[in-house]
């Protein structure tokens, strides 16, 4: 199995000293392959790019997938997008809410051309209600609205959704974020990995 993870800086791994939740998932999958005596081989490729939105992921995903097509390695996909879609600069949203929903629908449409095995990871909260970073404003209220839109599309399309927010809120937000208040720290990335890992394991069992 070849797993492609599409996302932004949180998927890339900012700012985790162990490389981020995707790298932690990769370590788990490598250990699983080794334990099986390589009867079960799993590759994971991190395609997270800092700053990416659903629009940018949609624009590049077919090229990314086609470059990695192999009869020997059937695909599983993990998607995450939304936090950067709702960022606001100079009063202008990066991606309007209805456009975000349409983008998610189109991502699903393309993904289904290659596999039935894919899921969307939910959006973690912010450390505070509003975070300002590099001239952009991020709003936790807007993140909730964009995640509601994401959930609605995935429910209609019968696509797996892996929630993250509830796990963060159950732990308490203090101690889960880096200094910028937007990106998880080591503990936050580990918590995301704990949420996503069992769902990916389930997908790998689907024939």
pLDDT in tens, 98-157: 999 999 999 999 999 999 999 999 999 999 999 999 999 999 999 999 999 999 999 999
Decide: pTM greater than 0.75.
yes
- Report CA-CA distances (Å) from 169 to 122, 152, 191, 203: 13, 22, 11, 26
CA distances to 21, 122, 152 from 174, rounded to whole Å, are: 18, 19, 29
Which residues in 87-129 belong to E strands, given as ranges? 88-89, 92-93, 118-121
Helix (H) or strand (E) holding 4: strand 2-7
What is the DSSP code (8-state) at residue 30? H
pLDDT at position 206, please?
A: 64
CA distance 117 to 200: 9
| 79 Rama class: left (phi>0) / alpha (psi -120 to 50) / beta | beta
**Contact by Cβ (8 Å): 180, 11:** no
Rounded Cα distance between 8 and 25, Å, is: 16
Using CA atoms, how far residue 57 sits from 64, 100, 174, in Å, is 10, 11, 30
What residue spans define the domains of the chain?
2-204
Q: How far, in whole angstroms, is CA 78 from its chain's centroid?
A: 6
4 DSSP β-pair partners? 45, 77
Contact between 73 and 123 under an 8 Å Cβ cutoff? The reply is: no
Pick from 10, 19, 28, 17: which is nearest to 84 by CA? Answer: 10
Q: Which architecture does CATH list for 2-204?
A: 3-Layer(aba) Sandwich (3.40)
Predicted confidence (pLDDT) per residue in 150-203, tens digit: 999 999 999 999 999 999 999 999 999 999 999 999 999 999 999 999 999 999
């Amino acid at each position: 199995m070849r797993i492609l993870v599409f996302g932004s800086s949180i998927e890339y791994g900012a700012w985790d000293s162990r490389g981020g939740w995707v790298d932690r998932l990769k370590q788990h999958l490598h250990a699983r392959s080794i334990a099986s005596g390589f009867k079960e081989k799993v590759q994971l490729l991190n395609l997270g790019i800092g700053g990416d939105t659903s629009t940018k992921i949609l624009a590049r995903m077919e090229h990314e997938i086609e470059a990695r097509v192999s009869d020997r390695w059937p695909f599983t996909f993990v998607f995450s997008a939304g936090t950067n879609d709702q960022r606001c600069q100079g009063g202008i949203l990066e991606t309007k809410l209805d456009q975000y929903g349409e983008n998610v629908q189109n991502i699903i449409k393309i993904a289904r051309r290659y596999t039935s095995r894919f899921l969307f990871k939910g959006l973690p909260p912010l450390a505070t209600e509003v975070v300002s970073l590099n001239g952009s404003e991020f709003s936790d209220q807007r993140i909730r609205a964009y995640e509601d839109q994401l959930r609605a599309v995935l429910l209609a399309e019968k696509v797996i959704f892996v929630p993250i927010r509830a796990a963060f809120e159950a732990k308490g937000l203090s101690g889960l974020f880096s200094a910028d208040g937007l990106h998880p720290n080591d503990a936050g990335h580990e918590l995301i990995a704990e949420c996503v890992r069992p769902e990916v394991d389930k997908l790998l069992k689907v024939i």
